[in-house]
Amino acid sequence: MADNAVFDPPLPHLSSIPPSTPSARTCAGELASLLGARAHDFAIEWVACCDSTNARLVDAPPADDGRVHVLVADRQTAGRGRRGRQWLSWEGASLTFSLLWRFAPGTPAPAGLSLAAGLALARALEQFGVEGVQLKWPNDVLVHGDKLAGILVELLPMRGRPPAAVIGIGLNLRLPADAAIPDQAGVADLAGALGGALAGEPPSRPALLAAILGEFHRLFETYAAAGFPALRGAWEQRNAFADLPVAIRGESATLYGTCAGVDDDGALLLRTGDGVQRVLAGDVSLRPLMDGAR
């Protein structure tokens, strides 16, 4: 596919971002050719640097042209996680991107979206032979229990329009030896996760992104047609804390119980002494209660 199909038209809302470097252009071209016929479904912008790919798409969403808009950055200066937390990444050692997904008119506000996104990412990683991929409710991808990737879903204000969401993904490819990530017990990178399989050399970012976008496309067609219930079983199969004791930390209280999976809306089901309680993602964090819990 020609370069201009990737950058055409240059997205006006991105005009404040420094122009793409040759390497960003090469990556975008590689991605387009790997996507093949699928490239027409996506409008891809690959930039050298921006504050946060989520912030760019949330603050100035591109006009709807029927394609899924994807913004990839070699480097982010203000990567964000949930509730104002920071996402750290290193140029050339991380994959950081966001996509803007629009739902059909009449669709209700999407439920279980970050879980569906986690599943798409998990499946893409499995395609590369990554073993031990698990999902931590609501938004993390773990490998052998350590955090490999995070997902940040932000819904755009509807203002009478169909629902639309920005789905941001940060994936560690090769963490620098001196990476200091605050408040995270265990972190992983793809090079380590692949171990012997590919001699620790992670796939290129365009190759990874092509696989991830392909999985998103497949899975979100199902999600758009049948909602999260159609994906729930596949999510549960990868639930890192199935039947394990967990704490759910909220702003003012902590709930303790056993993780009993998720419901059709993607809410966590927590088995407690008082029965099964539904927990909505909002302002809560799940933490394992036992050493070695996976």
Looking at 5, 181, 247, 293, which residue binds ligand ATP (CB under 6 A)? 181
Looking at 24, 27, 88, 122, which residue binds ligand ATP (CB under 6 A)? 88
Between 35 and 171, name the residue whose CB sits nearer to ligand ATP.
171
Q: Which of 100, 96, 102 is nearest to 77 (CA)?
A: 96
Q: Which of 291, 210, 180 is nearest to 245 (CA)?
A: 291
Between 181 and 244, name the residue whose CB sits nearer to ligand ATP.
181
Q: Name which of ligand BTN, ligand ATP, none residue 168 binds, using a CB cut-off of 5 to 8 Å depending on partner kind.
A: ligand BTN
Looking at 11, 29, 32, 80, which residue binds ligand BTN (CB under 6 A)? 80
The footprint of ligand ATP on residues 183-212 (CB under 6 A) is 183-184, 187
Q: Which two tokens stand for residue 162?
A: 């169909």
Looking at 20, 54, 98, 139, which residue binds ligand ATP (CB under 6 A)? 139
| Number of other residues whose CB lies within 10 A of the CB of residue 18 | 11
Q: Which of 121, 116, 178 is nearest to 147 (CA)?
A: 121
Residue 82 touching ligand BTN (CB under 6 A): yes
Q: Name which of ligand BTN, ligand ATP, none residue 98 binds, using a CB cut-off of 5 to 8 Å depending on partner kind.
A: ligand BTN
The footprint of ligand BTN on residues 36-65 (CB under 6 A) is 52-54
CB of 104 to ligand BTN, least distance (A): 25
The piece of 15-23, 68-76, 106-114, 175-183 that touches ligand ATP (CB under 6 A) is 175-183
CB of 199 to ligand BTN, least distance (A): 27
Q: Which two tokens stand for residue 60?
A: 């100035």
CB of 42 to ligand ATP, least distance (A): 25
Q: Name which of ligand BTN, ligand ATP, none residue 88 binds, using a CB cut-off of 5 to 8 Å depending on partner kind.
A: ligand ATP
Between 96 and 239, name the residue whose CB sits nearer to ligand BTN.
96
Residue with tokens 């809306």: 265
Q: Residue 77 class from Cβ within 10 Å (0-12 exposed, 13-18 middle, 19+ buried)?
A: exposed
Q: Name which of ligand ATP, ligand BTN, none residue 53 binds, using a CB cut-off of 5 to 8 Å depending on partner kind.
A: ligand BTN
Contact residues for ligand ATP, defined by CB under 6 A = 81-82, 85-89, 139-140, 147, 150, 170, 172, 181-184, 187, 285-286
